[in-house]
Every structure is written in C-alpha cells, then in structure tokens.
Amino acid sequence: MEGSAAPDEFQIALDSAISAPEAFGASFDAAPASEELELGLGLEGDPGIAFRRTLGMFATGVTVITTRTREQVHGMTANAFMSVSLRPPLVLVSVDRRARMSNLLHEGTRFGVNVLEAKQATLSDHFAGRAVEGSTEPLFELVHDTPLVEGALAHLVARVVRSYWGGDHSLFLGQVEFARYGEGEPLLFHGGRYERLIRDPRVFSLLPAELLDPILALGEEREYADGEALMRIGEPSGELLLILEGTVSVERPGRSLTLSPGELVGEIEVLDPGGGRIADIHAQGSVRCVAVSRDALLAALEADPRAAVALIEVLAARFRETA
Ligand SMILES: Cc1cc2nc3c(=O)[nH]c(=O)nc-3n(C[C@H](O)[C@H](O)[C@H](O)COP(=O)(O)O)c2cc1C
C-alpha cells in the first residue's frame, strides 16, 4: 500500500521508539507541553482539562487490577484496559507511574483483571482510593496465586510479559493464563461518571396482577408449531404475548434466553412499535399464548389510567437506577 510502512519496518520503528522515546522528539518524555495541544472550536480553558474531557467521551467498562506480593494484596481501579491479541492471548493495562501498582508490576508478575458488575461502583471507588463510608471490605479468591475480586462480571489472570514507557503511565502487556465470565450487566464509565446499560426489557411484567390481568383479558389465543417464529428481529410489530404453554427461545445480539409459561414477550415493542422487534423469538416445541394487540392495549389503558400511571412509574424507576 502506498505510503504505509511494511509491518516489519513498522515493528522495528515501534520497538526503537518504545526503548528510546527521544526518537519521537526530545520533548516527548518531558512534562506535557499542554500549550502545544490545539483545542477545537468552542473549547476554552486549560488544555489539559479539555484533553481529559475529550478522552472521557470514550465509554469504557471498569476493572480492578489486582496483584499479590508475599502477604500483601493490592487492587487498583483502572479503565485503561484493552484486549490486544487472541493468539497468544494478550491484554494491556496502563498504570499511572505515581500509583503504587506501578511499582508492584514487573515482567513475570501475575495480575488479575476484574471486570466490575453494574452494582460494584462502590468497589471501584474503594480501589481508586476514594473513601466510601460504610462500605464492606472486598472479598478475594486466589486463582493462579492471584487475588480475584468476588462478584466481578469477568476475571482474567495474566502474567506481565513486557512493560513499555507510556509518558506519565507505564503500559503492562500481560499474557492471559486464566479467563472466565458470568451473567450480568457491566459497570460503565463515561464523561467522568459511572453509567449503566439499560437492557431489562420488563415493563408490563412489573405491573401488579390487578392492573395487568384486565389487559391480558383483551387478547386472543394463538398456537405456534415447533421452530415457528413468533417474532423476527427488525420486523415492525405491535403485540404483547403471554406464554401459556411451552417455551420460546429469545435471541438478541450478544445474549439468548428461554421464556416459560407466565412470561411476557414484546413488552418494549408494543409501546414503541416503530423501532421494530429487538429479538428473534422461536417456539421450542408447540407453544400456546395470548396475543394482545397494541389497539386493545391502548383501549385498556384508556379504560383504566391507573395501569398507564403504573407503567410510567416503572420507566421512571429504571432511569433512577442509572442516575
Ligand atoms: C473509573 C476509574 C478509572 C481509573 N483508571 C485508571 C487507569 O486506567 N490507570 C491508572 O493508573 N489509574 C486509574 N484510576 C485511578 C486509580 O484507581 C487511583 O489513582 C488509585 O488510587 C491508584 O491506586 P494505587 O496508587 O494504590 O495503586 C482510575 C480511577 C477511576 C475511578
């Protein structure tokens, strides 16, 4: 390709730049010349702060990096974590040179990467050295001689194979020896604050029976044969289904689950039909269900506005969770 270095040349250039940062210019390793950073239109003030805020637009998960030295267990919150290679399995973490963790990691040291779950913001603060009143001490489990934080969404154990100069940070490349993950939602970090994904599709299922039953009573019974599609991703729709008999498989990008009798399908789409179905849903064996059309649903809400108010409360509570 014209103008681009062949991979080998690039590697040599990168290696020499890493071992000799001055290859990038004499001032590269010196204190950051923030006045050299050009700010886009509309951005004023301290360029360093603007740079931080710009980087903060990159949404990440949150990890706690853990390690053990003789009797000491140490953890540090880090969102500058990335996957690097599948074969060999490699990950990278960027650690502030002033952080204690930076002195604990060396080539050959093992470290754990604990991907925090949505409810672990307090743990994140704890390992970032922020005082959290009334928080309980984190619990660790030892795997490959490395402390792993209990309750995290995913765990990795890696051994430092290389470390690199990274300005006021050090970059530690780790070869992964152990990996596992569980079910759940991740804790997110964006714009300097914690965020959460809202992926819970339950709305009607959270209504009390006295408000939900009159709505379902307006539906009509329907049967599906084994493998038949109840809904297809992207298709426009405006129906709420209650499963009476049999089970259905729900396939959404990144997750799949099985729903059983008593569970509802299409809770979001019936309220927002324009966006299309968000999942592929197929019958597993023969399935019997009740289908409530959007028109019937709207008539039921008009007849009893208490159900409409309850739905708004469910949605408001969902937003509160993320605030
Ligand atoms: C959400 C979040 C992400 C962070 N990411 C990093 C990071 O990637 N690298 C880093 O060096 N510090 C990061 N920090 C700051 C460290 O967690 C903090 O400086 C910690 O007190 C260092 O611990 P230590 O000096 O005990 O090792 C982050 C803090 C928070 C709250």
DSSP letters along 233-290, please? TT----EEEEEEEEEEEEEETTEEEEE-TT-EE-TTTTT-GGG--SSEEEEEEEEEEE
Q: What whole-number percentage of the chain has pLDDT above 70?
A: 88
Domains 19-30+46-196 and 204-322 share a fold: no
pLDDT band, residue 272 (cuts 50/70/90): confident
- Ligand 1 environment, Cβ below 6 A: 62, 76-80, 94-96, 99-101, 124, 128-129, 189
pLDDT band, residue 25 (cuts 50/70/90): very low
Atom of ligand 1 nearest to the CA of 169: 11
Per the CB < 8 A criterion, the answer to whether 80 and 55 are in contact is no
User: Considering just the CA atoms, what is the radius of gyration of the chain in Å?
Assistant: 26
Atom of ligand 1 nearest to the CA of 101: 27
Q: Mean pLDDT throughout 257-269?
A: 92
Q: Mean pLDDT throughout 25-30?
A: 50
Q: Give strand pairing partners of 242.
A: 264, 290
CATH class in words for 204-322: mainly beta
Domain boundaries, the chain: 19-30+46-196, 204-322
Closest-CA residue, ligand 1 atom 10, reads 95
Give the CA-trace dihedral at 273, 275, 279, 283, to 10 degrees: 30
Tell me, rounded to whole angstroms, the distance of Cα 175 from its chain centroid. Answer: 23
Spatial CB neighbours of 134, under 8 Å, sequence gap ≥ 6: none
Mutate which of 67, 77, 100 for ligand 1 pocket (most atoms within 8 A of beta carbon): 77
- For residue 244, pLDDT over 60 is answered with yes
Q: What whole-number percentage of the chain has pLDDT above 90?
A: 65
Atom of ligand 1 nearest to the CA of 80: 8
What separation in Å is there between the alpha carbon of 65 and the centre of ligand 1? Answer: 9
Q: Mean pLDDT throughout 160-164?
A: 97
Joined together, the tokens standing for residue 32 give 């950051």
Q: Three-state SS string across 159-196, please?
A: EEEEEEEECCEEEEEEEEEEEEECCCCEEEEECCEEEE
The CATH number that domain 19-30+46-196 falls under is 2.30.110.10
What separation in Å is there between the alpha carbon of 128 and the centre of ligand 1? Answer: 5
Joined together, the tokens standing for residue 28 give 């590269």
Spatial CB neighbours of 308, under 8 Å, sequence gap ≥ 6: 301
∠ CA 292-298-302, nearest 5°, is: 130
Tell me the C-alpha distance between 260 and 255, whole Å. 17
Least confident of 63-77, 171-185, 228-242, 309-323: 309-323
Spatial CB neighbours of 127, under 8 Å, sequence gap ≥ 6: 64, 75, 76, 77, 138
Least confident of 16-30, 92-106, 192-206: 16-30
- Taking Cα atoms as reference points, which of 171, 67, 69 lies closest to residue 114? 67
Dihedral-angle region of residue 138 (phi above 0 means left; psi in -120 to 50 means alpha; beta otherwise) = beta
